[in-house]
Amino acid sequence: MSQGALQWAADEFGRADLGDTRRRARLIAMGAAAFERPSGTVASVFARDRDRQGAYDFLENEHVAPEEILRSVTEATVRRCRGLPFVYVPVDGTSVTVVDRTGECDFGHVGADAQGARGAKVIDALAVDPEGTVVGWLDLRFWARVPKPDAPARNTYARQARPVEEKETQYWIDTLKAVRASLDERNLRGWFQIDREGDGRDLLLALHDSGHTWTVRANVDRSIELEGGDVGKLRALMGARAASGNYELQVSGRPKRAARIARMVVRVGKVTLRLRDQKTSRITKLSVSAVWAREEGTTPSGEDPLDWMLYTNHAVETFEDARLVVYGYSQRWRVEECHRTWKGGDCDVEASKLRSFAALQRWAIILATVASRVERIKRLARAKPDTPASLELSPYEIQALKIIRFEGREPRAREPKSIAEAVAWIAEIGGYANKYSGKPPGATVIGRGLRYLRTAARVLALQARSPAQDGPAPTR
């Protein structure tokens, strides 16, 4: 495999303490192979029988702690965050669904129990820099959901009154604590971004206790206390306030949503949330800023307006402060994009045919790390287009990209200078029709192009090690 792939894998996985240096070497080799030929199935990543069997043995090895693999990945992410004023930390939940027709494997239920889907539940946290570029994973927390026959499944009040340790909310809180520990260790500031799942007493209080900045999208129209003493429903009280300003938002088209330039009106207020403990009825008050960005005057007939009601502990004194809160919340979509690349496309973790929860967890962490790298270069090309290509691509990848791009017709063909140019070339290799689409390249075409590129780079690396090579190996 290419030196670039091995170097990337060593950076991501090389600090895992697996009790044996041979296991760490195997992990790095597996990471490099998945980097070059990403696929959900082990058999598709490893072409040789001995490598394939070695990968299966590693994934099923009970002495390989998934937490150690993850720790190495998060340490690599934190190192890349050095020098940043802060990082956005989107936290989200998802699931990895696998085929388990007999139900004999130790996977858990996914989705509605009646559907019988099996797999793993996941809460994860991503680091995103202030300009919207993915940095890497800060946490990936897996568990197998087991239905409890004696649980009060239809009694909402009884479910809510359970101790937080008995709820899946605890996984969210554990993720917040893990991210906080990683950031605090390097004196980094985080700005958590959570969708409606975060609008609950336990999670809001955990965010408050974290010592970091946070934004949560409101899930319900709570009763609140508004600055000045007014008490009532959140939306009614906020709607009565004068707008702080408005801005235009480019909305891309998709099924059931028309492309348009939306006029977003922003209202801001300092509010006190009344958080009720369902078990004791105790009320805890939490003072936050509410930022309401709502589309007005541009919503097409038959569509609901864009509407984001956000709670935050970030100081909101000006309209620009409010815009920063809304922009920060928009970075939450970075984690959903990573999910799509991880669970679909080349990584396709849900195609795994592994037969144990622990093996799936180990393999899923490796593939998630590959997916975040694809998303990183995608976002880097958009947010920091002038970044030198050599900072993200190896010398062999750059040489291979030049050869493929010009098909060897131009001996003195130039190399891609910027990451934006390199990603555009990679996407074209993957089938991106630039002049027809009108959109920047997405993860699918970038991932497909990277697959071709890495294969070519590997051939160049092998040729460079051969005594019969013509010319020197490429250098940075």
In a domain? residue 178: yes
Q: What pLDDT is stored for residue 375 in this prediction?
A: 93
Percent of the chain with pLDDT over 90: 64
Q: Judge whether 297 lies within some domain.
A: no
Residue 375 lies in a domain: no
**Residue 297 backbone class (left: φ over 0; alpha: ψ -120 to 50; beta: rest):** left
Same domain, 359 and 441: no
262 has pLDDT over 90 = yes
- Contact, 419 vs 377, CB < 8 A? yes
Tokens of 20: 């044996």
The answer to whether residue 218 scores a pLDDT higher than 80 is yes
Same-domain pairing of 107 and 121: yes
Q: Examine the fold and report which residue of 368, 401, 423 is the final residue of a domain before the chain moves on.
A: 368
Q: pLDDT (tens digit, 9 = 90+) per residue, 277-304?
A: 888 889 899 999 999 999 999 999 999 9
Q: What is the mean pLDDT of residues 370-389?
A: 92
**Are residues 74 and 62 both part of a single domain?**
no
Task: Please determine, for residue 274, whether its predicted confidence score (pLDDT) is greater than 60.
Answer: yes
User: In which band, very low, low, confident or very high, does the pLDDT at 345 lie, cut at 50, 70 and 90?
Assistant: confident
- Name the residue among 426, 255, 439, 447 with its Cα closest to residue 344: 447
Task: Give the pLDDT confidence score for residue 157 in this predicted structure.
Answer: 58
Q: What pLDDT, on the 0 to 100 scale, is given for residue 101?
A: 78
User: Which tops the pLDDT comparison, 167 or 13?
Assistant: 13
Helix, strand, or coil here: 157? helix
Half-sphere exposure of 201 toward its Cβ, with a 13 Å CA cutoff? 18
Amino acid code (one letter) for 280:
T
Distance in angstroms (rounded) separating the CA atoms of residues 446 and 318? 39
**Whether residue 103 is found in the same domain as residue 220:** yes
Q: Tell me the per-residue pLDDT of 39-73, one tens digit each, with 9 for 90 and over.
A: 999 999 998 999 999 999 999 999 999 999 999 99
pLDDT(470) > 60 = no
Burial of 17 (0-12, 13-18, 19+ CB in 10 A): exposed
Domain hosting residue 38, numbered range: 3-66+355-368
Residue 468 has pLDDT above 80, yes or no: no
Residues 158 and 235 in one domain: yes
Ranges 80-89, 100-109, 458-467, most confident: 80-89
Mean pLDDT of 10-39: 95
Q: State whether 74 and 214 are in the same domain.
A: yes
User: Per-residue confidence at 458, pLDDT binned at 50, 70, 90?
Assistant: confident
Residue 147 lies inside a defined structural domain of this protein: yes
Counting the structural domains of the chain, the total is 3
Answer whether residue 475 is part of any domain: no
One domain, residues 30 and 167:
no
Q: State the CATH number of the domain containing residue 127.
A: 3.90.350.10
Separation of alpha carbons 63 and 395, rounded Å: 36
Is the model's pLDDT at 254 over the cut of 70? yes
Q: Helices (DSSP H) in 162-233: which residue ranges?
A: 169-185, 201-210
3 state DSSP class of 234: helix
Q: Are residues 51 and 95 in the same domain?
A: no
- Is 257 a member of any domain? no
Contact 92, 123 (CB under 8 A): yes
Domain identity same for 168 and 39: no
Angle subtended at Cα 292 by Cα 288 and Cα 293, rounded to the nearest 5 degrees: 145
Instruction: Give CA–CA dist 185/181, Å, rounded.
Output: 6
Tokens of 392: 């993200």
Cβ neighbours for 281, distance < 8 A, ≥ 6 positions apart: none
Which pLDDT belongs to residue 435? 60
Pairing between strand 118-128 and 108-109? antiparallel
From the list 29, 54, 121, the residue with the least C-alpha distance to 360 is 121
- Contact between 445 and 431 (Cβ < 8 Å): yes
Cα 429 to Cα 6: distance, rounded to the nearest angstrom: 23
pLDDT reading at 325 higher than 70: yes
DSSP-derived 3-state class of residue 323:
helix
Task: Give the integer Cα–Cα distance in Å for 274 and 224.
Answer: 6
Is residue 55 domain-shared with residue 150, that is, in the same domain? no
On the question of pLDDT at 421 being above 80, the answer is yes
Q: Does residue 256 fall inside a structural domain?
A: no
With cut-offs at 50, 70 and 90, classify the pLDDT of residue 153.
low
Does residue 384 lie within any of the structural domains?
no
Q: In terms of domains, do 33 and 161 share one?
A: no
CB 88 within 8 A of CB 326: no
Say what the pLDDT of residue 27 is: 97
Neighbours of 15 (CB within 10 A): 17
Minimum mean pLDDT range among 13-27, 358-372, 429-443: 429-443
**Tell me, what's the pLDDT at 412?**
62
For residue 50, the domain's CATH number is 1.10.246.40
Compute the average pLDDT of residues 253-258.
Answer: 85
Tell me, yes or no, whether 393 and 320 share the same domain: no
